[in-house]
Structure 1
């Protein structure tokens, strides 16, 4: 019901009540994090931002140093039942299979083609790398970006039927906007592929490609038919996870963050690095506790394991966001 309709209905009850409703509705409309329940996490975020952006406060941080970093998988969008980039690789295996008949007898490709992901994943990291190399390499960076964009535009999540870019967390989208409105520069620092995220990060998160940091394959320059081209090789260049996240931040940003959010042990060192800032800093973790609206997992999950980081959050005073209790809404509304 709109403010105009509400006040119209209440006019017969008196001007005082009508004015009170106007003020209450106006206050609600200025809530910077409307998808967050009023609670400890929301209060901590708002208090922190108010503190470090108030010039008269001793903890004031100049705008140039307001660097915020976010993990992607499980922090900004869902990561269950498989990492979304792995879902992309699986779809690519099925598309490319006619050109590779040997895959029918070669693991982990055989298992993927038979839709037996349990067997495919038994191969561990080596199997995942095989799938990524086969589907992500041997083409130019522009060709790969086009493939990712096409997939993002059409592929849907197996549980919800939503497009993967609709599996982002509405409360975190609000947080990105809130920080940006207060002079923070937001970055993604993810174990996911940098070239997988960059084609759609601006449309979904409002973050341009230069503010996305991730794992990467080796890329080489080549002139093909007179056209300068960057080709993606089947070789790992950088894995952006755990202790290498602060290294990636150093290489790409050149400043220590003052605000960091993750959701797993893979983000722990990034949050430690942020909390060691000489400025007043903030560290937060999304705790997946909602098995009805999303998924509930932490210490024993093979995806997004949250164990040591959760213990450190409790011992060091990091903000641990209980998704079930603290988020009014998980995913954005869609038409």
Structure 2
């Protein structure tokens, strides 16, 4: 009898405790975007999601058509002081230099080995393509994936001293989860290399490799020692940037998105392709305005220039996120 009374008493305490905590728990669970301040961008996101997911209304969109596309660099993770893939290429040049003594006297490799960023910048797009071809090709797809995985799990950003995969934006992680919880399929559509991203996007963003669209180099099928393999060639296959993004979306996804998220002029055509069409549409630009917690830049930068797209945002009624004022925190750890 005593044990039964003791159990009933304990149950009463639990029930009372749950009743006391219920309002605070409900409040916590009711906010799907806790790292966003209660400003216009958050309200616009929530209103759009409600509009396209409310059955029986004119703006309802069936789940298979709820496609959202996200740029990566500067939209989901940091892109300053340089694109992460460029940092990877520079490290690969240094690692492979002993096998290429000619690089000591050949640009743009000489500039990389000497740390001469001015000379590297002067090499322009042609020089960057040379670096990418030298460091991303000449191996199998599996070998490249291992190289990327080994690097991304060890390389650290020079300012924050964090792994690059720790420099993802907490508000955008919440947005990805919020959209998926409401029947959206989320895709990454980036100017970065498709096989540079695929080894880690599912772990970091919850976006599986088949939902990653990016730039690519040519590959060819070969048999080596009786085993099939895909070999990466030093030739550009596709550039998934600017006007290439809608093309990549059409080829890889096969559906026109109803929501697009970017941060630079490289995303302009993707935002136009997504939003300038009939039906409920949503476009959002992440504007880097927080020099203290991250970086502040827009029209005057080599990485992630936001100029034409910022002007277009006002004309096309896209939502612009002011990182400093609209986000409570930027990275998961701060």
Normalising TM by the smaller chain, what interval?
A: over 0.9
Partner of 1:53: 53
Whether the 8 Å contact between 1:257 and 1:277 is mirrored in structure 2 is no
Task: Say which SS state the counterpart of residue 249 (structure 1) adopts.
Answer: helix
> Which residues of 2 match residues 93-242 of structure 1 at below 5 A?
93-242=93-242
Whether the 8 Å contact between 1:260 and 1:284 is mirrored in structure 2 is yes
> Which residues of 2 match residues 34-73 of structure 1 at below 5 A?
34-73=34-73
Task: Say which SS state the counterpart of residue 198 (structure 2) adopts.
Answer: helix
Partner of 1:4: none
Partner of 2:6: none
- Runs of 4+, deviation exceeding 3 Å: 18-22
Partner of 2:250: 250
1:301 and 2:301 correspond: yes
Query: Whole-Å Cα distance in 2 between the matches of residues 243 and 37 of structure 1?
Result: 33
Whether the 8 Å contact between 1:156 and 1:163 is mirrored in structure 2 is yes
With 145-154 and 23-32 compared, the bigger mean Cα shift is at 23-32
How far the C-alpha of 1:67 sits from its partner, in A, is 0.3
Whether the 8 Å contact between 1:108 and 1:123 is mirrored in structure 2 is yes
Deviations 1:260-310, CA, capped at 9 Å, x for gaps? 000000100100000123320100000000000000000111110000100
Partner of 1:90: 90
Give the greater-gyration-radius structure (CA). Answer: 2
How far the C-alpha of 1:25 sits from its partner, in A, is 4.7
How far the C-alpha of 1:30 sits from its partner, in A, is 2.5
Query: Whole-Å Cα distance in 2 between the matches of residues 20 and 289 of structure 1?
Result: 41
Deviations 1:10-47, CA, capped at 9 Å, x for gaps? xxxxx9xx978752452133210000000000000000
Q: How many residues align?
A: 319
Query: Whole-Å Cα distance in 1 between the matches of residues 250 and 111 of structure 2?
Result: 39
TM-score, scaled to structure 2 = 0.93
Query: Whole-Å Cα distance in 1 between the matches of residues 143 and 117 of structure 2?
Result: 27
Whether the 8 Å contact between 1:213 and 1:252 is mirrored in structure 2 is yes
Partner of 1:276: 276
Note the aligned Cα RMSD (angstroms): 1.5
Gap runs ≥5 in structure 2: 1-15
Query: Whole-Å Cα distance in 1 between the matches of residues 205 and 61 of structure 2?
Result: 24
Deviations 1:32-74, CA, capped at 9 Å, x for gaps? 0000000000000000001100002210000000000000000
